[in-house]
Copies of this chain bind each other. A is one copy, B any other.
Amino acid sequence: MPSEGSLRLGILGTGLIGASIGLRARALGYHVVAVDRSPVNLRLALERGAVDEAVDALDGRELDLLVLATPLDVTLALVRRFAADPPRARLILDVASVKAPVVEAAAGLAGFVGTHPIAGGENSGPADARADLFSGAYWAYDPAAFAPARAEAVAFIERLGARPVPIEPGLHDRTVALTSHLPQLLATVLAAQVGERLGRPPTAELCGSGLASMTRLGASSWEVWGSIFSENAAPIAQEIRSIAAILSKLAADLEEGRADRLAPAFATS
């Protein structure tokens, strides 16, 4: 049971982001109750101290704040359900990496604010959760959300140590298509190429720290990324087309003996 006067925070999804929010919020005195469809994640989040109560469902319990920290497709399904049957929470936040479809789905849901912390990593489970994951990190939020909820969301983001960034959901989605979704795909494709073609010595031994850096994200899970690609398909496809066109031009330059034409890309980077 929460102690007298402590704020009640519900978290749906105790992966890296959900569990890190739990760790930090508990340190701030929140009473954290969490749900996860993965009993393994939920138990680990509890063991790591990210959660006060691990439950099967929130069952209409009254909350000050509810955070949806699930994969994007689950978040969309939850938001649609909540729009018809709102949970008993004054403020509801999500943390998904694509914002326009979530904000659109939440149109009828009072107290909802779409947000996206620019933090995380290639490991999506609670094992890597840290109370300081958000310290100094930017955290995007929808500036068009209902004003009182928005103000409370900004205050919560700041209490977690992060820096709130108001950004229109469509601009957010087009931007992360370039800064996050394209890099993820490049890492995945590169890792897959190297994995398929270089299984054994001596070629497997010609993989240095540069390649490691460029394929680290290749370890990310489809469970997290699949719905991001579906929901943000058009901007991502456009970024892929741009980079593929630039690469084809570079290949043609090399084939024509004009490696010198690659120099400007180095100058601007």
Contacts and interface: CB of A to CB of B under 8 A. Distances in A.
Interface residues of A, number: 89
A127 interface: no
A5 interface: no
Given A206-B118, A229-B259, A236-B254, A178 B193 contact: yes
A189 B250 contact: yes
Contacts of A58: none
A139 to B, nearest CB: 9
A6 interface: no
A206 B176 contact: yes
16 contacts: A118-B207, A179-B208, A183-B210, A183-B213, A187-B214, A188-B266, A191-B269, A214-B217, A226-B260, A226-B262, A226-B263, A226-B266, A233-B255, A234-B254, A237-B251, A241-B251
Interface of A: 118-122, 137-138, 140, 163, 165-167, 171-172, 175-176, 178-180, 182-198, 201-203, 205-211, 213-222, 225-227, 229-230, 233-234, 236-238, 240-244, 246-248, 250-252, 254-255, 257, 259-260, 262-263, 265-269
